Amino acid sequence: MKKGLNIVINIVLLAIIVLLAMQVVKSIQAPIKFSNEQKTRETQVVERLIDIRNAEVFYKNATSQYTNSFDTLIKFCQTAEIPIVKIVPDPTDTTFTRTINDTLGFVKVMDSLQGKRTNFNINDIKFVPFSQPQQQYELEAGTIERNGIKIPVFEARTPYEVYLATPGAAFSEKEWNQRRDNAKAEKESINRYAGLKVGSMEEATTDGNWEKL
């Protein structure tokens, strides 16, 4: 009887040990899995932010300002062309110090944005990957004043709550939301934007915040 009881106790203890070991492994793997899933999503979010930046720069080169309208930006990209310019010496300048811009031709903005990608769709540029339901990037444009000069600026952004809204396959909704909220709190504790953005409404830059890490 005593021997049988010892066997039962050993089995129960073994089960507890296995369960605790599994919990330890899970606690170690969970933040790694969350970080990997976050990086996977952010790769696509950043790619689209870069497209927005490039489109805005082309728009500014053509109009001397940025736009806060995706409809305007998309229409511009669908129809506009940009010159291919070669800088050459001015043939009338005997001092050999002046140059002129020689326009060799034009290229469509769409072709420049698309590059070698076969699945590029300019109409998708405004939508945040992994957002459910589908949401747009927040887009602002305006000017700031520096030394009496007005400088055009723009900013496109999206927070964690948009592209990290739905749980990864390895997480329950509760656990996923907790890890996302922890990541947000960590960013905000050091006064950083909890999400991804490009440009700024406060300074003349077209950098992305992922490039400043």
Tokens of residue 81, six digits: 């062309």
> What are the pLDDT digits (tens) for 123-170?
999 999 999 999 999 999 999 999 999 999 999 999 999 999 999 988
Give, for 199, the enclosing helix (H) or strand (E). strand 195-199
For residues 58 and 79, the answer to whether their CB atoms sit within 8 Å is: no
Q: Quote the DSSP letter at residue 192.
A: -
Q: How far is CA 94 from CA 22, 90, 97, 131, in A?
A: 81, 9, 8, 61
Average pLDDT over the chain reads: 87
Max CA distance (Å), the chain: 113
Helix axes 70-79, 2-63, angle to 10 degrees: 60
Q: Region 19-36: what's the mean pLDDT?
A: 69
